[in-house]
Amino acid sequence: MPTWHMLSFQDSASPSMEQLTMLHDFVMAVLIMVTFLVFFNLIFISIYNLTDRFLMHNQKIEIIWTVAPVFALILIALPSLQALYLLDDPFTPNITIKAIAHQWYWSYEYSDFPELFFDSYMMPTTHLTAQTRLLETDNSLVLPVNSQIRLITTSADVIHAWAVPAFALKADAVPGRLNQLMFSIKRTGIFYGQCSEICGSNHSFMPIKIEAIPMKTFLNWVMSYY
């Protein structure tokens, strides 16, 4: 059942998503202030009929409505540049994952563990019990929390897109090319994403499921494959 809190973003699970959420809230506050200022000015002008005497022939007012938008744009530009820098900030990864897109499923390879790779298909509706429809997969991408993660994505056929909203991640998977994502997960849990590129008739049936677990649990999970 939809609720009011679903109108906003998903709960952030990475520093990048936290920065983008803060930037969104700040920009929305600026837009609301500008909207109300213009609205009340229009009401004030229409009531007192000050268009010719006060606004059209007043040098101070002309300076204000020229300089004020400049300051507003600077206020928006500074945090947006900071968020953009943090999104593209490279670091030395602790683990590297390769996500290969197919029509219509994902394959994952753990580059640091040569024998660890698997395919991830969407679970059929008939096999679900209490899971989320169209988002549950038979094999989850298991990742450690509080670790620097590099994900390299590509495609085996057409253009797909690997996207997880809770991490503020989205990258096109292009045949013959490698795209890179750098991120860190701040809390444990299960997170979902989907292919965000119209890749064919079954575009909506190649979800992404990530299980974020502590590093010790992750290493035990890795050892179970050997």
pLDDT by residue for the chain (226 residues), tens digit each?
A: 556 666 778 888 888 898 888 999 999 999 999 899 888 878 877 776 655 556 666 677 778 888 888 988 998 998 888 888 877 766 788 899 999 999 999 999 999 898 899 999 998 887 777 677 888 898 999 999 999 999 999 999 999 999 999 998 999 999 999 999 999 999 999 999 999 988 888 888 999 999 999 999 999 999 987 7
Q: What are phi and psi of 3, to 5 degrees?
A: -130, 170
* Helices and strands, number each (H, E), in the chain: 3, 10
Q: Which residues partner with 190 through β-bridges? A: 211
Alpha-carbon gap, residue 79 to 98, rounded angstroms: 31
Q: Would the pTM count as exceeding 0.75?
A: yes
What is the pLDDT at residue 161?
94
Alpha-carbon gap, residue 184 to 79, rounded angstroms: 20
What is the pLDDT at residue 55?
60
What is the pLDDT at residue 57?
66
For 91-111, letters b (16+ CB in 10 Å) and e give eebebbbbbbbbebbbebbbe
Question: Collapsing DSSP states into helix, strand and coil, what is residue 83?
Answer: helix
Q: Which of 167, 154, 164, 147 is nearest to 222 (CA)?
A: 147
Helix (H) or strand (E) holding 97: strand 95-102
